[in-house]
Amino acid sequence: MRIVLVGCGGTGMELLKLLGGRASKILVVDHDRIHLTNLHRLFMFTKEDQGKYKSEKAAEFINKQYGGRASFLVRRIEEVPINVLNQYDVIFGALDNIEGRMNLNLMFRKSECKLLIDCGISGYRAHAKAVYRGSSCLYCIRELYREDGPEICSLGSLPKKITPENREKTLRSLVELRREEPGSREEKIKKIINEFNALAEENLKVNAFDVVGMFDEIIPNVCFINSVCASLACGLIDATNLHYDFIFYSGEKNITLEKLILDRDEKCIVCNTDA
């Protein structure tokens, strides 16, 4: 089995742990660098790896453990040539944002890969979705990735002072209001931080980490759920022979595990391009 792993976060590391000795060929794709704040959930990396590329160090780890079967690309998935993806059988997506998932979905549909398995995590919940020719794709189920956020304020109705009660709503409002303005991403994020903190007392102020997570629509998660999600994903490797293509897990109150077939959207702009 030849696999592509897209995303070297917590779930991606757990997937490599499960698949490293099983795959004959592995391509690791991620454009991000290792940060000190990542290390509590990225067991393959050490403090000395800080600042290095995640994909490079992950491939290096696999090659040390299992021989030279892994390679890497420091790129976003939409930057990977289709002829490279065509050399592999299965793509595993371990991304934490909606835009990345939609790009991954489109690249899979353009490629000759047989199977895409997407991993999703939020809090104590996890899911794995298999996509293959004839099944529903990630764009068909895109609404599952949307979080129900608070109502957005207009610029004129923003509060004059930040309180614990209005903090999240005000920050999200500023993010949504500034997102589409002219200027670079970095300029917008800096402007949001300055505007918000001008209204907030010291204990309620935000930093770049808070704003970037909301600006990029990064879905939060807790650490242990990564291994649960990776296990669900590996259970879908034989998805074309199963009676389900979607697994949902919740550990919020009682443990819940559901296996479903998700219907294809007849109006999907991605699926409808299939031959």
Tell me what pLDDT residue 146 has: 62
More confident of the two residues 28 and 275: 28
Strands 70-73 and 125-131, by their bridges, are unpaired
Which homologous superfamily is 2-146+220-273 in? NAD(P)-binding Rossmann-like Domain (3.40.50.720)
> First and final CA of the chain: distance in angstroms?
25
Q: How confident is the model at residue 98 (pLDDT cuts 50, 70, 90)?
A: confident
Mean pLDDT of 126-134: 94
Q: What is the DSSP letter of 220?
A: P
Q: What is the mean predicted confidence (pLDDT) over 153-157? A: 55
The per-residue pLDDT for 234 is: 96
Question: Which band of pLDDT confidence, cut at 50, 70 and 90, is reported for residue 87?
Answer: very high
Percentage of the chain lying above the pLDDT 90 cut: 54
Q: How do residues 217-262 score in pLDDT, each as one tens digit? A: 665 556 788 999 999 999 999 988 889 999 999 987 789 999 999 9
Give the 3-state secondary structure of 99-135: HHHHHHHHHHHHCCCCEEEEEEEEECEEEEEEECCCC
**Cα(200)–Cα(211) distance, rounded to whole angstroms?**
14
Domain ranges of the chain: 2-146+220-273, 155-215
Beta-strand relationship, 90-93 and 70-73? unpaired
More confident residue, 271 or 24: 24
* pLDDT tens digits, 169-215: 888 888 888 887 888 989 999 999 999 999 899 999 999 888 887 88
Q: What is the mean pLDDT of residues 124-153?
A: 80
| Angle CA 41–185–119, to nearest 5 | 35
Dist CA 20 CA 61 (whole Å): 10
- Written as six digits, the tokens of 128 are 């794995």
The pLDDT of residue 152 is: 45
**Mean pLDDT across the stretch 163-173?**
86
Which H or E run contains 188?
helix 185-199
Whole-prediction pTM value?
0.74
pLDDT value for 156 = 57
Give the highest mean pLDDT range of 8-17, 116-125, 158-167, 210-219. Answer: 8-17
Give the pLDDT of residue 256.
92
